[in-house]
Amino acid sequence: MAEERLQRTARLPPAASTAAAIGVPALAAAASWNSLLLVVQGRVVPGWGVSAVLVVMSLVLRSALTQAERRASSSSSRSSREAASWTRLGSSLLIVTAVLGTTWGTVDDLISGAEYHVLRPAGPEGCTVVVRETSFLVIGNGEAYAVGATGLALGESGSWVVDDGYRPFDAGTYELDWGRDGGLLRVSGTGTDPVVSGGLTDIGCGW
């Protein structure tokens, strides 16, 4: 099924093919270098995971379009061939950018021991809070993301720092309260491992 879609894409008009060839790797690059994540059936897919999927799609699409260009090269004009070359170059640069961002995000999660938590209960209209906890040396960090009905969070809603690598969500020292217009997330430390900065995050889902 996916192969058939790519074959249909390869038969699109030149302008549409160019948009697809540039658009997909551009999305991959953006996803790899931005604070976003996706929730699918209760499972969190980090931005670098979204980017990895889009990179694979970009490479398969690029292959399909290249084959289509080779078949049509004998009848295409010089300007069309030059435009195709520029498109391939732009696509390649975007794919490399996405691969670098994906690698960086993966390594960062591994080194910091990142853990993702989907908090329950959900709020109004299914608004959900996802928390990313990390720790490095003697510092613990966390970010909260508001995930709407689309399952996508386009950036963090708030962050905090805790002393001595303490992870409040592993320990359960947090509170999430919902109202009509959104929620409030309170993060607490302990007497020996206090919250150094942050700790209160307003949660609101706009999509």
pLDDT digits (tens, 9 = 90+) for 143-172: 999 998 889 998 899 999 999 888 999 889
Asked whether the predicted pLDDT for residue 182 surpasses 60, the reply is yes
Of 126 and 206, the structure prediction assigns the larger pLDDT to 126
Asked whether the predicted pLDDT for residue 10 surpasses 50, the reply is no
Assign 106 a pLDDT band (cuts: 50, 70, 90): very high
* DSSP line for the chain: -HHHHHHHHHTS-HHHHHHHHHHHHHHHHHHHTSS-EEEETTEEEEHHHHHHHHHHHHHHHHHHHHHHHHHHTTTS-HHHHHHHHHHHHHHHHHHHHHHHHHHHHHHHHHHHT-EEEE-SS--GGG-EEEEEEEEETTEEEEEEEEE-TTSEE-SEEEEEEEETT--HHHHT-EEEEE-SS-EEEEE---SSS-EEEE-EEEE----
Asked whether the predicted pLDDT for residue 71 surpasses 80, the reply is no
Least confident of 8-22, 27-41, 90-104: 8-22
* Mean pLDDT computed over 13-41: 81
Q: Give percent of the chain above pLDDT 90.
A: 44
Assign 130 a pLDDT band (cuts: 50, 70, 90): very high
Assign 131 a pLDDT band (cuts: 50, 70, 90): very high
Of 21 and 185, the structure prediction assigns the larger pLDDT to 185
* Mean pLDDT computed over 1-22: 56
* Mean pLDDT computed over 99-107: 94
* Mean pLDDT computed over 5-20: 56
pTM of the model: 0.79
